[in-house]
Amino acid sequence: MNKESYEQSYLYRLRHSAAHLMAQALTELYPGVKLAIGPPIENGFYYDVETTEALKEEDFAAIEKRMKELSKLDQRIERKVAKSRDEAREIVLKECTLGQGEAVAEYKLQLLDAVPEGEDISFYDQQRTDREGTFHRFIDLCRGPHVDSTKEIKHFKLMSLAGAYWRGDVKNKQLTRIYGTAFESQEELEQYLHNLEEARRRDHRILGKELGLFMFSPRVGPGLALWLPKGAQLRETMIEFLRDEQLKRGYEPVITPQIASIKLYEKSGHILTFREKMFPFMEDEEKETYILKPMNCPFHIEIYASQIRSYRDLPIRYAEFGTVHRYEQSGEVTGILRARGFTQDDAHLFVTPDQLLDEFIGVVDIMNTVLRKLGLTDFRARLGTKDPKSDKYVGHDDNWVAATNAIMEACDKMGMEYEISPGDAAFYGPKLDLIIKDALGRDWQMGTVQVDYNLPERFGLEYIAEDGKPHRPIMIHRAPFGSLERMIGLLTEQYAGAFPLWLAPVQVAVLPIADRHVDHAMDLASQLKGYSGDLGTKLRVSVDDRRETLGKKIRENQLQKIPYMLILGDKDIENGTVGVRSREEGGKDLGAMTLQAFVEMVEKEMD
RNA sequence: GCCGACGUAGCUCAGUGGUAGAGCAACGGUUUCGUAAACCGUAGGUCAGGGGUUCAAAUCCCCUCGUCGGCUCCA
């Protein structure tokens, strides 16, 4: 179901009503609770509240119990429209607060003020007297729509608690957000919970450990990954792929240091706009301050600026797999999807205004090539623009407008659809980002292209044009993966660890059946690796020479998601064949074939 | 950083105030095996760290660190 049809659906209304039912239970159980907002969301609903005492997850059982009781009362949910803003205010203060007045109406009054002029101000009212004669009522300022009766809300579960800033602003008070979910049937609810469990098994942090890709150590520090041999191989493979692709397209590799004097960052504007994301500064004995690099761009700019550049030299495309460190807040670190140290597949293009459009299109093309190769199809593009209200940007508005227009023009020309997201620009310019969901449905920004008029200006970059006069180049910042860490984390989840053959850290496992087959297995592996023989291939091969049963070796290599196993016993040695097993379909026996035939098969698969 | 949850052997987990456990992995031995876990044995723990309550703490309380779900922020 897509977003639009979901928002029109009964399920969406049901969840919205479930949020109200939860709020009703909360007002009864916690007198004095201040209600803020409670919308339906992608997989359920939440309500933000302010309570006098901190809520705990152990309170959920009591809240759910009361919700069930209130549901059974069969309260009719009725829509009421206030005749005027004043009347609406009266309802909020007198009825919504159930006599507690202004003390609990704080957020609702603010929401009322935010209802645009001319729009209906509606309330949803649910009430009933129970068998003991107690009157229950809940009326809430709300656009709706809702279901007809609380009786319809039967299959729900409270999921988690979180702090959430009022109106999403850190400067505001932090409220308590209660997340829940609701479905039309018990089966669907259980299916959803089951799917959550399944998604957890695809989590890159779990697979990363099981498959030996990467690890973290508290002695190294949060968000600082240690890459294990298989994970490092994966990185090398991805780097090799992209490096070739870039060389083909006229990129030139450069290499720059991990730290630089603070002067570089004063010039770039990082100190003004990026400081809180940088690791603590270092000071040497001469009192020079150094900074661990959070971005590669100023370094590439220094290389550009080191010589007089002619328009004949442009475009210049400097590429670097540049490792950067950013001091992410402690609660924000998420495995390798959000780390404190990560490597960008970075490049900076210095172009003339005439070249901008073509170069931008060239970058989008390389991104498409990358996505296709990696098999990522489920992504969306987002144009991050400047938030006019924020002061976290550098440069003149004219530059911003020109850069934003350039991106839109290029996208239109390529027929690329995108959504505009104000406030998601980089501090120096607007950007086009690719957004992909992880196993748990969270959005992550992956590849990015950014058009930048501002850093060239700050650094006074020039090239000599045909007219013999200095002109200012435009920069394109771009990273098709985004970062190796995030991309590998995401790919791990997309493929549930079963990487495509070209990417798999170990492509082939050779399994000798008994000790007497080990020498032969070693020889075979050496040929497949291209170290001996004339198979004309270079595969990544392991030999499982442990003294274990064949069944066990197969099981463990299958769990390691190794694409092919070659089983080697007396029959094979006699016939000059190997028994080939594919990891597909839970392990498929492809029968005996010659090594040559096997190599032809895998080479074809990798084309 | 903030709100909530969690932290027991290398891994997955059991153990709710009274002598720290299991499976897998490791190690030693036996087995040499044809498509998803051979058999027997051995060893392994400051119960994340620190402080407190108690005759007694893995278990209750406080602090710190780390991890997880969110918020904010981001490749």
**Given this model, what pLDDT does residue A272 score?**
86
Write out pLDDT tens, residues A358-393. Answer: 999 999 999 999 999 999 988 999 999 988 777 778
Catalytic residue, chosen from A125, A345, A346, A452, is A346
Q: Which residues contact A43 (CB under 8 A, 6 or more apart)?
A: A181, A192, A441
**Given this model, what pLDDT does residue A343 score?**
98
Rounded Cα gap, residues A336 and A338, in angstroms: 5
In whole angstroms, B32 C1' to A542 CA is 21
Burial of A451-487, coded b for 16+ CB within 10 Å and e otherwise, reads: bbbbbbebbebbbebeeeeebebbbbbbbbbbbbbbb
Looking at residues A562-580, what average pLDDT do you find?
A: 96
Nearest amino-acid residue to B69, taking CA and C1': A160
Write out pLDDT tens, residues A59-68. Answer: 999 999 999 9
- State the complex-level ipTM: 0.94
- Roughly how many angstroms between the first and final C-alpha of chain A, as a whole number? 35
Burial of A412-434, coded b for 16+ CB within 10 Å and e otherwise, reads: eeeebebeeeeebbbbbbbbbbb
Write out pLDDT tens, residues A164-221. Answer: 999 999 999 999 999 999 999 999 999 999 999 889 889 999 999 999 999 999 889 9
Write out pLDDT tens, residues A510-521. Answer: 999 999 999 999
In whole angstroms, B15 C1' to A58 CA is 21
% of chain A at pLDDT higher than 90: 78
Residues 181-220 of A with CB under 7 A from strand B: 203, 205, 209, 216, 218
Write out pLDDT tens, residues A273-325. Answer: 888 899 999 998 888 999 999 999 999 999 999 999 999 999 999 999 999 99
Distances (CA, A) of A42 to A206, A343, A379: 25, 32, 17
pTM for this model (two decimals): 0.94
Is the minimum distance from the CB of A483 to strand B below 7 Å?
Answer: yes
**Given this model, what pLDDT does residue A235 score?**
97
Q: For this structure, is A348 an active site residue?
A: yes
Nearest nucleotide over every DNA/RNA strand to the A169 CA, judged by C1': B72
Write out pLDDT tens, residues A321-354. Answer: 999 999 999 999 999 999 999 999 999 999 999 9
DSSP A556: H
**Given this model, what pLDDT does residue A393 score?**
84
Residues 100-139 of A with CB under 7 A from strand B: none
Write out pLDDT tens, residues A120-177. Answer: 899 999 999 888 888 899 999 999 899 999 999 999 999 999 999 999 999 999 999 9
Catalytic residue, chosen from A59, A96, A146, A297, is A297
Q: Tell me the one-letter amino acid at A25.
A: A
Nearest nucleotide over every DNA/RNA strand to the A546 CA, judged by C1': B32
Nearest nucleotide over every DNA/RNA strand to the A443 CA, judged by C1': B74
- A389, with CB counted inside 10 A (0-12, 13-18, 19+), is exposed
Q: For this structure, is A431 an active site residue?
A: yes
Nearest nucleotide over every DNA/RNA strand to the A484 CA, judged by C1': B75
Is the minimum distance from the CB of A588 to strand B below 7 Å?
Answer: no
Looking at residues A430-443, what average pLDDT do you find?
A: 93
Residue A18: pLDDT band by 50, 70, 90 thresholds? very high
SS3 content of chain A, % helix, strand, coil (to 5): 40, 25, 35
% of chain A at pLDDT higher than 70: 100
What chain A holds in terms of domains, given with CATH numbers, is 3-200 (3.30.980.10), 236-274+282-323+342-482 (3.30.930.10), 508-606 (3.40.50.800)
Q: Which residues contact A74 (CB under 8 A, 6 or more apart)?
A: A128, A149, A150, A151
Is the minimum distance from the CB of A571 to strand B below 7 Å?
Answer: yes
